[in-house]
Homo-oligomer: A and B are copies of this chain.
Amino acid sequence: MSSALRISEAASIGLHTVLLLAQEGQQFLSARDMARTMGVSEAHLSKVLQRLVRAGIAESARGPHGGFRLAAGAEALSLLAVYEAIDGPLRPLPCLLGRPMCDGKSCILGGLLASVNEQIRDQLASVRLSQFLARASGEAQ
């Protein structure tokens, strides 16, 4: 009974994390530091970071002075790619389960929800990580 069209907290953390990493450039950031910066639990963040690494969006280094940074070429990625790396692919959202009622003709809700979904997709896809890149060398955006 609580909320609305929900985006998972994990996805939110992931998006913010990627932004942080982009701002840091080649520098490594530890999970602990990022957790403090964002004010989220380090445990939860770690899990999200694992997803990003496995998806090839970030890369990790262990040991002292280790941490995470954006993988090479990740600047070209969109926020949509990041989102899908965490929460899985963005579903087509076919209406509901409505075979019996909404299959034949185009259900009003189906059309409506589909268009909303398209808009979300477009918005996420239109933003690239390169917009937030702050080069360590000093070259501003």
Contacts and interface: CB of A to CB of B under 8 A. Distances in A.
A96 B12 CA distance: 6
Interface in A90-111: 90-91, 93, 95-102, 107-109
Interface stretch (A25-33, A63-71, A113-121, A133-141): A113-121
Contacts of A108: 19, 127, 132
Contacts of A124: 112
B87 A120 contact: no
A90 B113 CA distance: 15
A88 interface: yes
A16 B87 contact: no
Contact of A87 (B3, B87, B91): B3
Given A3-B87, A16-B98, A119-B119, 15 more contacts: A1-B86, A2-B87, A3-B91, A4-B89, A5-B6, A5-B117, A6-B6, A7-B113, A12-B97, A15-B109, A16-B102, A16-B107, A19-B109, A38-B101, A79-B112
Interface of A: 1-7, 9, 12-13, 15-16, 19, 37-40, 79, 83, 86-91, 93, 95-102, 107-109, 112-113, 115-117, 119-120, 123-124, 127, 132
